Amino acid sequence: MEKRNLGKSDVKITPILMGTWQAGKKMWVGIEDADSIQAIRAAVENGITTIDTAEVYGNGHSEKIVAQALSDVRDKVEYATKVFANHLKYEEVIEACDRSLKNLQTDYIDLYQIHWPSGSFNNEIVPIQETMNALNHLKEQGKIKAIGVSNFSRIHLEEAAKYGRIDSLQPPYSLFWRKVERDAMPYCIENNISILAYSPLAQGLLTGKFDASHKFDPDDNRADNQLFQGESMKRAQLALNKLRPIAERHQCSLAQLSLAWLISQPQSNAIAGARTAKHVIDNAKAAEVKLTQDELQEIDAIGSIVTSHQDDSPVMWNW
């Protein structure tokens, strides 16, 4: 899998990244550590060398699982992790980074990201300049190679960029959730900021495996995802039926088609989570699917069946 530049940094990433929220177990059901380790290992063996995690995923458990899977091939992979909204004061950022370094069993993090803007989830508001000062210090020390942000609007992104170079934005982005295109994407294109799309398969909806009658376990975060509810779910089924013939033309799955569409968008890369090694291998093959401009436009139009009826809420979940 051919690597791409991460923003203006020296870090190279794969266009499809391995997402490991599920490896933290919290807010997911039916996750086994052994399966997570096997899936992460399979990602690297199949060309997905960039691994995305966060301190909040199971309170460090995901980071530890990543280390268990990959510590012996650390020099061949890129680690991206995040500091949560409750650790954005200067000293808290430094301490959080040190914890992540320990969890990941490494002496540097390729990409360190602010997970949510200050004040999210009723956390204390910390001036972005203070947080960025800490991140810049970590970069000067060599503990991190690049700085990124996640769940930031264009306004938040522009403010952060006043105090240091931002190399990536991690927004929710998929064929069924495209709000970043109207907000921060133009700024990212203009300033060479990589977009690392999370939930690029709309938390599994774009795989076609969930019909309108599906009910999630209340402990599964997808039970609160508005895409899986009511009118949105009905529209998604209609869109999926229109996508199937395109996938058949390319002899690929709906998931592979959706990932191929996303990594064809400007500056865009896809963070695809997976529970099993088989899912990871399938995700990796999406990089081989080549779509024409006409097909990209056709897929765009199909996606609008879902997206044209969404409100302005930036968060997928009804939390």
* Sole residue written with tokens 């056709």: 298
DSSP, residue by residue, 298-315? HHHHHHHHHHTT--S-S-
What was the pLDDT predicted at 319?
67
| Cα atoms in the Cβ-side hemisphere of radius 13 Å centred on 199 | 21
Three-state SS at 51: strand
Beta-carbon contacts of 37 under 8 Å, excluding residues fewer than 6 positions away, are 65, 68, 69
90 is catalytic: no
Geometric angle at alpha carbon 277, from 2 and 58, rounded to 5°: 100
pLDDT of 25? 83
Q: What is the pTM of this model?
A: 0.94
Q: Which of 57, 79, 112, 198 is catalytic?
A: 57
**Measured over all CA atoms, what is the biggest interatomic distance in the chain, rounded to whole angstroms?**
54
Please tell us whether the domain made up of 4-210+255-291 is placed in CATH 3.20.20.100: yes
Residues 6+ apart with CB under 8 A from 18: 39, 40, 43, 44, 48, 50, 51, 52, 271, 272, 273, 274, 280
pLDDT in tens, the chain (319 residues): 999 999 999 999 999 999 999 989 887 888 899 999 999 999 999 999 999 999 999 999 999 999 999 999 999 999 999 999 999 999 999 999 999 999 999 999 999 999 999 999 999 999 999 999 999 999 999 999 999 999 999 999 999 999 999 999 999 999 999 999 999 999 999 999 999 999 999 989 999 998 877 888 888 888 888 888 889 999 999 999 999 999 999 999 999 999 999 999 999 999 999 889 999 999 999 999 999 999 999 999 999 999 998 887 777 887 6
Residue pair 244/208 in contact (Cβ under 8 Å)? The answer is yes
Q: State both tokens at 38.
A: 């096997």
